Amino acid sequence: MEYYTVVAESYDAAVKKAQELYGNGIRIHSRRDFTTHGGLFTKRMPRCEIVCYLASTKKESGKTGEKDISEFEKEARTPDPDSLSREERLNTESYRDKPLLPEAESLLVANHITDPLKAKLIEAFPDNGDVSMILSERLLKTVGIAYQGQIHPKHFVVFIGPTGSGKTTTLAKVAYMFKKTGRKVAIVTLDSYRTGAYEQVGAFGSALSIPVALAGAEDELLSAVERFASFDMIFIDTMGLSPKDKELNLRLKGLLSLLDMSQSDYVLTVPASMKEEDIMEQFASYSEYSPSSLAVTKLDETETIGNVLSFSYKVEVPILFFTDGQKVPDDIAKASGSVVLEHMKGFGLDMRRFRAQVSLE
Ligand SMILES: Nc1nc2c(ncn2[C@@H]2O[C@H](COP(=O)(O)OP(=O)(O)O)[C@@H](O)[C@H]2O)c(=O)[nH]1
Ligand SMILES: [Mg+2]
C-alpha cells in the first residue's frame, strides 16, 4: 500500500488538500500536529501533517464522507493535540518539515559570519534541535580566546593597529586592569609623531597613577626600558602605520626591533564596527608584526561581532579583550565565551541548560 504525506496549516486543510491530490478514497493513517520552529525572520506556525493511503481502487471513486475519515483517524498514531497535556504536546513538536541548516545559515549570515568559520559551524548540522543553542555551543568551542595573555602576560605588551582604532584608550584600560591584580605596570609611548598623542597617554597615566615615558627615538626607548626594568609589565603604545609615510613605518619597526620578541605580546586593535574585508586589509599591513592576540574595540557601536570572529578564526589570532565604550578604565572586559554570545544577534545563551550540558561532559 502506498502512503502519502500531506502538510497544511490545520487538520481540515490537510484532509482537503489530500482529497484534492489523491481523491475522496483516501484514509487517514496518522496525524501529527506540530509548530514550525521560528527563526530570526520567521514566526512559529502551527502545522498538521497527515499520512494517508487509498483504501482500495474500488472505493477511490466512491464518495467518502467526513464520518469515514474521522473513523479512520481513530487509528491514527498521534491524537488530536487538544486532548494532550502541555508536556505531551511539546513532545510532539517536530521540525521535520523545515530543515535546520538553512535557518542556521541565515542566522550566521545575519551575524556577518563568513567562511571558513561559517562552514565549521554548520558542519554535519543535526536535523533537529534548537538552532541558536546548537550554534552557540559550537561557537563557544570554536572561538579563540587568548586566555594565556590574560593570565600569564609577557613583560612587553605592544599595541598595534590603525589610527583611531582605540590603541591608546584600550592600552590604558588594560594596564589598569593588570595594575589592579597587583602587578607593577608602566606605559611607554612611541607616538611622538601625532599632536597631542603624548598628552593623551600622559593624562591617562596620571589619572590611573601609572608612570608614562615618551620614546620617539631608539636611545629614549632603551633608557625607558631600563628605567622600568624592575616593573612586571611595560605597555608600549604605538602610532598607526601610514600607507604614505614609509619613513614613519620604518621608524616604528626599528624601535620595536629593540624589544625582546620572546618577551613581547603584540596586540592588534580591531574595531568591531569595521567590515571584515576592511579588517583583512588592515591586518595585511600589520601581519609583519605577527600579532599574538586581538583587542576588539567599540562593541558599543555594533550589533554583532560575527565579522571579527570570522577574521579571528581565519587568521588564527585569538581575542584577548573587548571594549565597549570610551570610559577609561571601566569600559573593558576580558574576552570570554559569554561576552562573545552576548554580542551575537539571535544567539540565545541559556546558561542553565548550558551549564547542565557542560557538567555532563
Ligand atoms: N565608542 C567607543 N569609542 C572608543 C572605544 N575605544 C576607544 N574609543 C574612542 O576612539 C577614539 C580613538 O581612540 P584612541 O585610543 O585614541 O585610538 P588610537 O589612535 O588607536 O590610539 C577615541 O575617541 C576613543 O575615545 C570603545 O570601546 N567604544
Ligand atoms: Mg593612540
Which of 165, 168, 198, 326 for mutating ligand 1's site (highest number of atoms within 8 Å of CB)?
A: 326
Q: Which three cell numbers stand for residue 231?
A: 616593573
Classify residue 33 by its DSSP letter.
E
Same domain, 82 and 228: no
- Per-residue confidence band for 360, with pLDDT thresholds at 50, 70 and 90: very low
Domain-located, residue 343:
no
CA distance 119 to 167: 32
> Is the domain of 233 the same as that of 113?
no
342 is a domain residue: no
Number of domains composing the chain: 3
190, 318: one domain: yes
Task: Return the percentage of the chain with pLDDT > 70, whole number.
Answer: 82
Residues 108, 160, single domain; the answer is: no
Answer yes or no: do 227 and 307 share one domain: yes
Same structural domain for residues 126 and 20?
A: no
Ligand 2 geometric centre to CA of 230 (Å): 25
Same domain, 123 and 156: no
Q: Are residues 236 and 166 in the same domain?
A: yes
Q: Amino acid letter at 239?
A: M
Start-to-end Cα distance in the chain: 45
- Which residue's alpha carbon is at the smallest distance from atom 10 of ligand 1? 166
Count of residues making up the chain = 361
pLDDT digits (tens, 9 = 90+) for 321-337: 999 999 999 999 999 99
189 forms beta bridges with 214, 237
Report the alpha-carbon distance of residue 156 to residue 264 in Å, rounded: 5
Nearest CA to ligand 1 atom 13: 166
Residue 3: pLDDT above 50? yes
Shared domain check, 112 and 69: no
Mean pLDDT taken over the chain: 86
Q: What is the pLDDT of residues 145-199, one digit of tens each?
A: 999 999 999 999 999 999 999 999 999 999 999 999 999 999 999 998 788 889 9
Single out the residue in 50, 71, 91 at which a domain terminates.
Answer: 91
The 10s digit of each residue's pLDDT in 45-89 is: 888 888 888 876 544 444 555 555 555 555 454 555 566 565 555
Q: Separation of 166 CA from ligand 1 center, angstroms?
A: 4
Tell me the pLDDT tens digit for each residue of 294-351: 999 999 999 999 999 999 999 999 999 999 999 999 999 999 999 999 999 888 654 4
Reading the block at residue 258, the C-alpha cell is 629593540
Q: Quick check: 34 pLDDT over 60? A: yes
- What is the mean pLDDT of the segment spanning 240-268? 92
Residue 332 CA: which ligand 1 atom is closest? 27
Closest-CA residue, ligand 1 atom 12, reads 164
Please indicate, yes or no, whether residues 19 and 86 belong to a single structural domain of this protein.
yes
Q: What spacing in Å lies between the alpha carbon of 173 and ligand 2's midpoint?
A: 13
Which one of the ligands is nearest to 174 CA? 1
Report pLDDT digits (tens) over 277-289. Answer: 999 988 888 988 9
Distance 300 CA to ligand 2 centre (A): 19
Half-sphere exposure of 112 (CA within 13 A, CB side): 18
| Last residue of one domain, picked from the residues 21, 56, 91 | 91
Say which residue the cell 599595541 belongs to.
Answer: 159
Ligand 1 site, CB within 6 A:
161, 163-169, 269, 297-298, 300-301, 323-326, 331
**What is the rounded CA–CA span in Å between residue 274 and residue 301?**
10
Q: Are residues 325 and 247 part of one domain?
A: yes
Nearest atom, ligand 1, residue 297 CA:
27
Residue 37 DSSP one-character state: P
Grid cell at residue 69: 475519515
- Residue 282 CA to ligand 1 center (angstroms) comes to 17
**Is residue 211 included in any domain, yes or no?**
yes
126 shares a domain with 230: no
Domain hosting 226: range is 147-335
**Residue 152 in domain:** yes
- Ligand 2 centroid–CA 344 distance in Å is 28
CA of 192, nearest ligand number: 2
